[in-house]
């Protein structure tokens, strides 16, 4: 065995007796039967007496070395293959669309050596994998980051906003941003504020399955995002992801109203307290929302890419210790978004710490951990107490969007009054007017 | 004016000229027309130049005192009326059910003096308002607390668990707990662990509308909860709330899998990553889940009511400051449930603080802020890093249930190994085996 990643002790010793390496298709003979699969890496917490292979079914099995009588190689490790599209002049009548890659599953592939997923696919590789893209738009592309999305934060949002603005101001008719799904909603909100008034569509897109897997949603999502960036009549910041479990319909969500509501389903993203903006099916865009700004090409986009890092999102829970608020204040926090219960409540014993923070100039706003619905703090006297202390109620704004907005507001205002005013103004569709009781059904 | 709550300065002076008091139905004449409605209280942040009345439509309007030419009383303030049920001997063939009141909207009424909602209705008043209850069961009742549910915490959970156990051990065939909806899910989880193995059904029930309002869901919810407590063939801790916007179907949710997913809808409560246990319609219980323990009357219930308060639920977000973890450790925290992104991720720069905490003996477990789906930390190397540090992955457990379970586990174990083992064991239906991709649709 030439590569030994993760195997230690007895399992390593056994593997080294055979001409196999990580990623090879191997056959393991045991006293109970023969197993065939890809030899997988093991990780730091692994024991030393199992060999792990991935069966054709996709499941990993660990086989005790005490049961193993023979190991042989069936086929050598092979990575995914990419086809480079033929060189051809870009059709001059196609709109110019920029694809900016930041990482995530959509720009990743299964690493056959480790069995894990790595952010590794370049935009060129994406276009090679999805040749349809070159028929939709004159694609310009740039790899800005190669990050797991849980590591994306405000520094990246700022750099991304500047890059998008540069591309828009240089003539891109739309921009696609490939992004890991975990914090895609946060980044979509961040661009919605930093690129307020964006004259063309900017479409963030991710994938819940690696783009080289048969069940991947990467290609359909990417095609829909590119169609939207190239052709949509509307402008602003959006997210394109599978609408449901069918293969063909992609939802276009408003960047400030979208949330990842499932860890793994392809239709994990949903518009909350808001309808989708549009659907894309077979390359056609059907607009379903009437209040989206029109595309206004030729208008210069002035980015406002500053975000205040000294901002926190705190979820209230029973036995929540309000000292955490005092501690954040002592560390120089400038704003806190609370995720209260129901209509916007926290236990009354938190009021002292909240009041001290507000009196010290900290911006404190209220959202609901219910996710759906809207904060209404005038119904109960406890809510009214919080209002009179100075807590800002944020209506139907998502907690995550509220947190990003507060970072942006604090980064772009000088006075507390301006901050409070901006928090309560509808800047980028983050507030929706009260709607009837119909709601898109989702998740369970 | 004899009662002046909230009115100050000029508006107070004007009101004092007329024989009206808060809660009266009054008529206000202005140069533009006449308004009739209930005189409402004003609150701390009110100005001094509006009089606020609640119109018959239910909306409040503020009328500028500069426009007012006359005020008169149409009818005196009147509170809601309750009819005491006729004294009759309890039918001896009805099962004995205890209703324990803790407060919340279901045990509240609109205070016509303030326009707000107050937890004020006793269980006797509830029974008087919902006489159907006395035909379902031989009702025994007790007011344990009168609290807004955001003020319910582990001290109340412990007292409630002891009270329920006392009632069960004294022969109640089922127990109904009325509770504010905001933290009802947390309390349901708490009882699920503290009353593990409960031999009869304990049904928590709330209401999204005050019980004296025409659109209230209080009566139907309470009737369904009482039917379930009296007659269900299954046992354990459950939540009874409206299934949808129809008037007649109530869902019975497992206490560890239920979440308030809307701030105000009657069907705000949903089973997450799990089907409902049963539906109640027109007094009939339809069981839909097969893996619920049977009712086992006569078995003694041994409560385990201890909860460790030094436990926190932390929601990860971009730019999350890991110092908060070090700070909690310095304050003696014993367990932290993280709400990570996606499959259970946090930014890699948090790993140091997490490792320091775990090395110091703090229990750290991972859930997902997606709400739906399940944590799977072996897919990405970042997740595997967290696993090797010792973070406990909690599968499809709700973050709120995970937090309550950790409080309970830390309150009832001596060693770290026992705590880790209990966190990963399925004690009260908090873990569900992987299910097909169907899910009940909800919320938007």
Instruction: Convert the pLDDT of each residue in A349-377 to its tens digit.
Output: 999 999 999 999 999 999 999 999 999 99
- Give the Cα separation of A143 and A166 in Å (integer): 14
B317·A403 Cβ contact <8 A = yes
Which of A267, A341, A375 has the most B C-beta neighbours within 10 Å, making it the best mutation to test the interface with B?
Answer: A341
Q: What pLDDT is recorded for position A345?
A: 96
Comparing B303-317, B370-384, B405-419, the range with the smallest average pLDDT is: B370-384
The overall average pLDDT reported for chain B is 87
Q: What pLDDT is recorded for position B389?
A: 96
- Give the Cα separation of A88 and A2 in Å (integer): 42
pLDDT-derived band at B421 (thresholds 50, 70, 90) equals very high
| Full-model pTM | 0.80
Summarize the confidence of residues B244-249 as an average pLDDT.
84
Is 80 exceeded by the pLDDT of residue B323?
Answer: yes
Higher pLDDT, B116 or A49: A49
pLDDT-derived band at A436 (thresholds 50, 70, 90) equals very low
- Give the Cα separation of A331 and A310 in Å (integer): 9
Is 60 exceeded by the pLDDT of residue B4?
Answer: no
- Give the Cα separation of B202 and B173 in Å (integer): 9
Is 80 exceeded by the pLDDT of residue A402?
Answer: yes
Query: How far A215 CA sits from the closest chain B CA (Å)?
Result: 14
- Give the Cα separation of A396 and A431 in Å (integer): 6
B342·A153 Cβ contact <8 A = no
Contacts of A442 in chain B (CB under 8 A): 439, 441-444
Non-local CB neighbours of A176 within 8 Å, separated by 6+ positions: A97, A98, A99, A100, A202, A203, A204, A205, A222, A225, A226, A229
B387·A442 Cβ contact <8 A = no
Most confident of A201-215, B126-140, B349-363: B349-363
Q: Among this protein's residues, is B256 annotated catalytic?
A: no
The overall average pLDDT reported for chain A is 87
* Percent of chain B residues topping a pLDDT of 70: 85
Contacts of B347 in chain A (CB under 8 A): 150-151, 153
Q: What pLDDT is recorded for position B441?
A: 39
B441·A441 Cβ contact <8 A = yes
Higher pLDDT, A22 or A270: A270
Which of A318, A322, A347, A403 has the most B C-beta neighbours within 10 Å, making it the best mutation to test the interface with B?
Answer: A318
Q: What pLDDT is recorded for position B116?
A: 56
Q: Which residue of B has its CA nearest to A320?
A: B312
Query: How far B361 CA sits from the closest chain A CA (Å)?
Result: 18
Our CA dihedral for B429, B430, B435, B440, rounded to 10 degrees, sits at 100
Q: Among this protein's residues, is B321 annotated catalytic?
A: no
Q: Among this protein's residues, is B105 annotated catalytic?
A: yes
Contacts of A389 in chain B (CB under 8 A): none
* Cβ atoms within 10 Å of A13's Cβ, excluding its own: 13
Is 50 exceeded by the pLDDT of residue A441?
Answer: no
Q: Within its chain, how far is the Cα of B11 from the centroid?
A: 38
B245·A437 Cβ contact <8 A = yes
Going across the sheet that includes A50-54, the strands are A60-64, A50-54, A33-39, A25-30, A68-75
pLDDT-derived band at A230 (thresholds 50, 70, 90) equals very high
Query: How far A102 CA sits from the closest chain B CA (Å)?
Result: 15
Q: Within its chain, how far is the Cα of B417 from the centroid?
A: 32
Q: What pLDDT is recorded for position B169?
A: 97
Catalytic residue among A182, A196, A306, A385: A182
Is 70 exceeded by the pLDDT of residue A110?
Answer: no
| Pairing of β A60-64 and β A108-110 | unpaired
B345·A44 Cβ contact <8 A = no
User: Which domains are assigned to chain A?
Assistant: 9-75 (2.30.30.520), 96-287 (3.40.50.1170), 311-424 (3.40.50.40)
ipTM of the complex in this document: 0.80
Q: What pLDDT is recorded for position B375?
A: 96
Q: Model confidence over B153-206: pLDDT tens digits?
A: 999 999 999 999 999 999 999 999 999 999 999 999 999 999 999 999 999 999
pLDDT-derived band at A405 (thresholds 50, 70, 90) equals very high
pLDDT-derived band at B358 (thresholds 50, 70, 90) equals very high
Is 60 exceeded by the pLDDT of residue B45?
Answer: no
Helices (H), A232-312: none
Please name the member of A118, A385, A444 whose beta carbon is closest to the beta carbon of B271.
A444
Higher pLDDT, B83 or B137: B137
Q: Model confidence over A290-301: pLDDT tens digits?
A: 889 999 988 999
Q: What pLDDT is recorded for position A88?
A: 44
Catalytic residue among B105, B178, B220, B228: B105
Q: What pLDDT is recorded for position B110?
A: 53
């Amino acid at each position: 065995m030439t590569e030994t990643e993760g195997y230690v002790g007895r399992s390593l010793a056994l593997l080294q007796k055979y001409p196999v390496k990580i990623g090879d298709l191997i056959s393991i003979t045991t006293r109970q039967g023969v197993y065939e699969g890809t030899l997988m890496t093991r990780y730091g917490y692994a024991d030393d007496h199992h060999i792990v292979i991935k069966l054709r079914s996709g499941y990993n099995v660990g086989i005790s070395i005490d049961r193993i009588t023979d190991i042989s190689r069936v086929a050598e490790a092979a990575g995914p293959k990419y086809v480079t599209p033929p060189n051809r002049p870009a059709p001059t009548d196609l709109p110019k669309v920029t694809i900016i890659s930041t990482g995530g599953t959509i720009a990743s592939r299964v690493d056959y050596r480790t069995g894990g997923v790595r952010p590794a696919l370049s935009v060129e590789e994406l276009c090679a994998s999805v040749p349809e893209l070159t028929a939709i738009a004159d694609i310009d592309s740039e790899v800005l980051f190669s990050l797991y999305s849980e590591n994306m934060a405000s520094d990246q949002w700022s750099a991304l906003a500047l890059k998008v603005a540069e591309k828009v101001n240089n003539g891109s008719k739309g921009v696609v941003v490939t992004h890991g799904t975990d914090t895609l909603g946060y980044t979509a909100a961040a661009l919605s504020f930093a690129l307020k008034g964006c004259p063309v569509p900017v479409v963030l897109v991710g994938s819940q399955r690696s783009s080289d897997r048969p069940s991947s949603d990467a290609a359909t999502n990417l095609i829909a995002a590119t169609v939207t960036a190239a052709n949509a009549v509307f402008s602003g910041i959006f997210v394109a992801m599978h609408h449901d479990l069918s293969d063909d319909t992609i939802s276009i969500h408003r960047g400030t109203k979208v949330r990842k509501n499932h860890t793994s389903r392809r239709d994990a993203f949903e518009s909350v307290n808001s309808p989708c903006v549009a659907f894309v099916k077979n390359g056609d865009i059907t607009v379903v929302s009437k209040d989206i700004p029109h595309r206004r090409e030729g208008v210069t986009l002035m980015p406002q890419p500053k975000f205040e890092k000294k901002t926190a999102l705190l979820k209230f829970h029973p036995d929540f210790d309000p000292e955490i608020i005092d501690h954040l204040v002592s560390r120089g926090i400038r704003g806190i978004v609370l995720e209260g219960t129901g209509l916007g409540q926290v236990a009354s014993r938190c009021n002292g710490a909240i009041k001290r923070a507000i009196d010290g100039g900290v911006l404190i706003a209220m959202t609901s951990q219910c996710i759906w619905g809207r904060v209404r703090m005038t119904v109960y006297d406890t809510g009214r107490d919080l209002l009179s202390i100075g807590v800002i109620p944020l209506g139907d704004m998502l907690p995550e969007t509220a947190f990003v907005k507060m970072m942006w507001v604090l980064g772009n205002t000088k006075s507390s009054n301006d901050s409070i005013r901006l928090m309560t103004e509808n800047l980028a569709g983050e507030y929706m007017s009260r709607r009837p009781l119909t709601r898109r059904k989702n998740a369970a």
